Each structure stands twice: as structure tokens, then as C-alpha cells.
Chains A and B, each alone.
Chain A
Amino acid sequence: MRALPHRLHPRHLNLARRCFSNCTRVVDLIQHDASPAVFLNHIHLSSSQDPFPPYAVASEIQSQIRQIFLSYKAAATTSPTTSAPSPVLLSFTPSPTYTLGRRQTPISPTQASRLRQPLRVPLPNTMGTDPSAPAEEPGTKDYIPLVLETDRGGLTTYHGPGQIVLWPILDLRSPLHTNFRVRCYARLLEQTTRALLLAHPHLGIQTHLSEADPGVWVRRGSEQHARDKENGNPAAGVDATDATAAPTPADLTTDRKIAALGVHLRRHVTGLGTALNLDVATRGPDSVNPWARFVPCGLDGKGVASVRDLIAPGRWAAAVAAAASPAAATTTTTTTTAAAAPSGIAAAFAEDMARRWAAELSSRIGLDGRVRSTTVDVESIITTAAS
């Protein structure tokens, strides 16, 4: 990430700096691995202090991990003795942040100040609160979004609550797993998301790809289709009458993007990745709808979708409840090193989606779904670094 200083809130800058100076705990996770079977090292970031870990901290952790991969590659050309680092997936849900792509010239002060208007988001322990509720409504919080420049492809996008950000760190040439070309890697991210949305027992969302516009898309009218499907075949434990209460958007005349994509590659080591909208406001005024402040990814006339918009409330509730229960773990082995306080059901759902995505990715890169999931409290990293 470029231009880190002066754009960050001082607290975040401080966090990022301390993280940068010592990320040993995360680094240990990557390097400490004696098991013969290669697995995907899934690290989910949570935050016990703030509801959401800051984007900048995640970004610094990512660059530390990438550095391990790059150092290994540099060393391997002379002495190929040590084993290659296991592939990593970093996942998190940041506080509201706008990021700019590599090819963008700095945005104008007018655009920047528009992006930095306060944005009201539901807090993760109160998922389901109507974000367009009156001011000071409990369960929502006003954030001043950060605006950051990144090295990825693509143009402006938004990251924030209600989303799961998925950043695989792979060497596309690693001997440990299937290799990919650059464009095939973009497809891999898209197909992993599509498979997850379709195969999830409570979601079953049909998506498609667009040759011209990378990302995962849903066809217009998908909401109606999802509701009809549920009315005809109510899932166990789901009240079919819920369907009548589903939002009925009137302005769905285009395909909409449910997962955006933006990747950076250095020596075939990947960075950044994809972000899936789970429960992000996609309509309403720009005080609650983060997408209303810019043209997402430069695609005028296309919309943004969120998982919650696409399924009936009953199904949504079932999916979230399943994720919040302890039996939700779907990974082969799960170890939790940091006792990260689950900050609500929305956070649990996002983490569950990340784990499912990790398992899917692991299968698709030839690791047979093997994942080691770890939840790391970013505050604990920072505390360790400070002491």
C-alpha cells in the first residue's frame, strides 16, 4: 500500500506502524509448519477492541506475509533447501474504507471529501438493524471512511462492515499446489466465490461471470427468483411467510456485482484478492449506501448486490444462525490460538463464509480442501509488539 501516512487516522497509523515493526505472531504461523501434508493456512483477523480490524493493519500483515514468500523465492534461487511456505488466506471485515486502484491518479479534493462523509453502518452484533433508521439509533455507528491507495488492478472500490475480504497469498509458481497464470488466477477467485454461493446449504445463489468485467455477478431479478424458489420449496425450519417481507427493489434493471476483484502480483506472489458483499447496504442515500458515493470499479450503469438482498429473510436467518452455532466449522482441522471474542452474529457469519471459501479454494488449488484456520485478534498482535 502506498501513501500510508497522512491519510490514516492517527490511531490506525500507530497500529499499522507497530504491526509493521513486529508481526512475529502471524509470521510464526506461516513458518512454523512441520506437517507433511500441505494445507491452506487460513488466518481470519478479528478485533476485540474495535468491532472491525482496520484495513491498514490487515494490509501491513499481508505485506509481512508476502515478504516471507518473496524472501523464500529470492533465497531458493541460490540454495533450494528449505521448504516453500504454505499458501495463506487472510480474511477480515474492515471498518469503512475506500481503496483506489494502481492506475488511478489521485482523486480530487471534492471526490475525496464526498467519500469521507460520515457513513452509518450496522454494528456486527446487531445484524439486521435497518441502516436507514433515525440518527443515534442503537446498533449503528457512524464512521468516517478512510481513503487509501493500493497497488491492485481496477479502480475505486469500497470495503467495510457486512463484507468479507479474502486475500489469498500464494506463489502462483509454488511446487506445493496447482500453478496458475495471471488471468487464470483471477478466474480462480471468481469461481471459488461462485461455488461457495451456490453450494452453501442455506444460500444456493446463482451467479455468472462477465468476460468484459471481472468479478462475480448476479442477474437482474435474482431476488424475485430466490423468493419464488423458497415459496415453492421452503427449507426446513424456515418460515415461508417471511418471503412476503423481503425487500422488493424497484430499480433492478441491470446485472449487479456481488463480489469485486483486485489483485497485485509481485514475482507471482499474489496480494489483495476479492471481497464478497454479505450484508452491505446497496440502496438508499449516500449517508448509508457506500456505493452511492462513487462509480464502483468505474462501471457506470451497473449495480451492486449483497447476499442478503438475494435470499428470503428466512433463509438469511438460517444461514446466519448456522454460522453462529459451534457446529458450523467446516474445515478439516481448526485451531484457535488467540481467544478472539466473537463480536456478534454478523462477525460469526462472515468468518464462517471465509472458512467455507478457504475450503473451496484449498480444493481448487489441489490441496483437497485441507485448511488450518486460525482466528487472530489484531489487538493481540499489536499488544505483543508493544510490550
Chain B
Amino acid sequence: MASIARCVRAARPSVLSTISKPIAATSRPVFYRPTQRCFSATPISEVRKYTKDHEWIDLHADNKTAVIGISEYAAEALGDVVYVELPEEGATVAQGDSIGAVESVKSASDINAPVSLRIVQSNVELEEKPAKINRVPEDDAAGGGWLARVEVDEQGLKEFEGLLDLEAYKEFTATLHE
């Protein structure tokens, strides 16, 4: 669903993105797809990877900033989310560490850091509207169900390489028989 939303944005760039483009182009010299912009003013990148614990991470073109969240598969498996425990802003965590939780049907499931990272900003909207994580779990734009904006270092980048790309993740979820 998120990928459809992104295609729509790519086909019809918003007014905001048109205005902000020149500024962004100068302030961010490394840019894979400079024509694509989303409302959250972070560069769109196709480099989304997944963990076997069903988290996703979108690494931006600067190889430093990223957005994380839980996969559509996970959101579906959880059932109706009633509460999201957000990552603590500023926290530095290692790959696999618990950074928060989602609660559904009296079950609190830990969310783990897909790579070593530092939490920059949590998606506080999820506190008020936890159901968003069911509707648009893989949307990293404003109003989406993303969990946090993060920064990764060298170690995090190395770990990122080891994660599953969309195809591999789809293959992995297809093997889960439930």
C-alpha cells in the first residue's frame, strides 16, 4: 500500500515539493532520485530493507538518516493495535535491542532495532492514533504509521547490508505457515 502511495507522489509532485526542491538540492548534495519528494521533507529512497522480526528500515541517500517501522505483514498478524510504546528519543541502541512495543489483544510485542541506531524523533501521532499502525504501517510520510526517524553509523550501515530486501522478505513471509 505504501509503495502505491509513493508511486502516486512520484507521478504528481506536490506544490510543496516543487517549492522546496532547489533548497533541498543544495543542502543535500548526494541524491539518488532528486525529482521525488515527500511531505516529510526527507529524500525518498528505494533502499528499504526488512528484518525477520518484521521491522523495516528506509535508509536515505545520505547513508546516515533512516526511518523505521513495522511491516504490513506484522501489522496484519498483530490484529488491532491499541497502544504503541514509542522509542525514547535520543537513545542509542544496538541491533536487535528492544526499542518499543505494540499492544494488541492483550499482547505486547517488542519492537527491535533493525540495525544499530540512534533515535532522533518518534512518531508521536501513534500515541493518539495507534490504529494508524494497522492502516499504513509502511508509510514513512507525515501521517503514516512509521515508528521513528533515526540515525545510523558505520556499524548500522554494515548491519543494514545484511537485512532482507523486499523480494527476500516476501519469500521469507511466504514460508511462514500459520
Contact = CB atoms under 8 A, between A and B. Distances in A.
Interface in B88-138: 96, 98, 101, 103-110, 112
Contacts of B79: 182-183, 186
B83 interface: yes
B96 to A, nearest CB: 7
B19 interface: no
Given A265-B110, A267-B110, A183 B77 contact: yes
Contacts of A182: 77-79, 104-105, 107, 109
B159 interface: no
Nearest to A271: B108
B105 A103 contact: no
A264 B102 CA distance: 10
A153 B98 CA distance: 16
Contacts of B107: 152-153, 182-183, 185-186, 262-265
Nearest to B73: A181
A103 B106 contact: no
B178 A184 contact: yes
A261 B105 CA distance: 9
Contact of A183 (B96, B101, B104): B104
A154 B79 CA distance: 15
Nearest to B84: A103
Contacts of B110: 264-267
Contacts of A185: 107
Nearest to A213: B106
Which of B53, B77, B108 gathers most chain A CB within 10 Å?
A: B108
Interface residues of B, number: 22
Nearest to B103: A153
Contacts of A152: 106-108
A263 B106 contact: yes
A181 B108 contact: no
Given A182-B79, A183-B77, A267-B53, A102 B85 contact: yes
A51 B112 CA distance: 39
A180 interface: yes
Interface string A267-290: 110000000000000000000000
Contacts of A268: 53
Interface string A306-331: 00000000000000000000000000
B106 A154 contact: yes
Contact of B178 (A179, A186, A215): A179
B15 interface: no
A103 B178 CA distance: 28
B111 to A, nearest CB: 10
Contacts of A74: 96
The SS class assigned to the A binding surface is loop
Which of B77, B106, B112 gathers most chain A CB within 10 Å?
A: B106
B4 interface: no
B133 to A, nearest CB: 13
Interface string A159-199: 00000000000000100000111111110000000000000
B103 A103 contact: yes
A7 to B, nearest CB: 20
Given A182-B78, A182-B79, A183-B78, A102 B108 contact: yes
Contacts of A154: 106
Given A182-B79, A183-B78, A262 B178 contact: no
B177 interface: yes
Nearest to B177: A179
Contacts of B112: 267
Contacts of A183: 77-79, 104-105, 107
B96 A214 contact: no
Interface string B48-78: 0000110000000000000000000000011
A263 B107 CA distance: 4
Contacts of B174: none
Given A152-B106, A266-B110, A267-B53, 18 more contacts: A77-B52, A102-B83, A102-B101, A102-B103, A103-B103, A151-B101, A181-B178, A183-B104, A183-B105, A184-B178, A261-B105, A261-B106, A263-B108, A264-B108, A264-B110, A265-B107, A265-B109, A267-B110
Interface of A: 74, 77, 101-103, 151-154, 173, 179-186, 214-215, 261-268
10 contacts: A151-B108, A182-B104, A182-B109, A183-B77, A183-B79, A261-B105, A262-B106, A263-B107, A264-B108, A266-B98
Interface of B: 52-53, 77-79, 83, 85, 96, 98, 101, 103-110, 112, 176-178
